Structure 1
Amino acid sequence: MTEEEIKKVSQLYKVLSDPTRLRILLLLKQGELNVTSIGEELSMEQSAVSHQLRLLRDTHVVRSRRQGKTIYYALDDHHVIDILNQTFEHIKHQ
C-alpha cells in the first residue's frame, strides 16, 4: 500500500464514523433520495443534510444526479454497500 492509499482509506473511515452519515447511507441503501426526503426521514434540517451529503460526495461514497431543480443522491457503487454490510456483520459478532 502506498502512503496516498493509506490516507484515502483513513479519510473514508473518518467519513463513515459519523452516526448521521451512517443513517443517511442506510437510507440510500434502499434507493436514491433527494435532500427533502432524507431530511424528513431523519428529522433533520435540509441544510444539515446537504452538508453531510457534500462530505459523502467529496469522498465518493455517494453520487448525485440532477432532475430539473431536484438533486437525487445514491450510493456511489456496490462497494459502499459491501463495506457497510461487512462492518455491521462484524459488529454482530462482538
Structure 2
Amino acid sequence: MTNHYADLDKETLFIVSQTFKALGDPTRIRILHLLAAKECSVGEIVEQLALGQSTVSHQLRFLKNLRLVKSRRVGTSMFYSPEDEHVLEILEKTIQHSIHD
C-alpha cells in the first residue's frame, strides 16, 4: 500500500488556519452568509446585519486579505461578493450540519 501523505508547508498551514479563524467569528460568518446570497455594498451589509460601519469595514478588510471576498467600485461605493466558492461550500455544509436533526 502506497502512502500518499505529504506534509503541509508553512504557508499552506498559515492560510488554512487563517481561513478557519475567519470562519470562527460569528460576525464574519454572518457577512459571508449574506454575501453568498447577493453582492452587497458596505451600507447594505450594515443595514441587513444591524452592525456598525466600522465593524463591517474591519471584517471585510480581514476577509479580503484572505481572498475570501472581492470588491468592485461603482462610483463612490464598494460592492462585495465571495471570492472563493470552496470556503462558501464549507460554510454552507457546516450550517447544514448544525441545523440537521
Q: Same fold (TM over 0.5)?
A: yes
**Aligned match of 1:19 in 23, 26, 29?**
26
**Aligned match of 1:79 in 78, 86, 97?**
86
Q: Does 1:91 align with 2:98?
A: yes
What is the aligned partner in structure 1 of residue 69 from structure 2? 62
Q: Secondary structure at the match of 1:29?
A: helix
Q: How does 1:35-50 map to 2 (within 5 A)?
A: 35-50=42-57
**Aligned match of 2:36 in 20, 29, 42?**
29
- Per mean C-alpha deviation after superposition, the further-off stretch among 68-77 and 79-88 is 79-88
| Separation in structure 2 between the aligned mates of residue 5 and residue 15 of structure 1, nearest angstrom | 15
Which runs of 5 or more structure 1 residues have no equivalent in the other structure?
Answer: none
| Separation in structure 1 between the aligned mates of residue 96 and residue 49 of structure 2, nearest angstrom | 23
* 1:43 counterpart letter in structure 2: A
> Alignment RMSD, CA only?
1.5
What is the aligned partner in structure 2 of residue 10 from structure 1? 17
Q: Secondary structure at the match of 2:78?
A: strand
Which runs of 5 or more structure 2 residues have no equivalent in the other structure?
Answer: 1-7
Q: Larger Cα Rg: Structure 1 or Structure 2?
A: 2
* 1:52 counterpart letter in structure 2: Q
Per-residue CA deviations over 1:3-44 (Å, capped at 9, x if unaligned) read 221111001111111101100111101111000000001111
Per-residue CA deviations over 1:17-76 (Å, capped at 9, x if unaligned) read 110110011110111100000000111121111011000101111000001100000011
TM-score (norm 2): 0.84
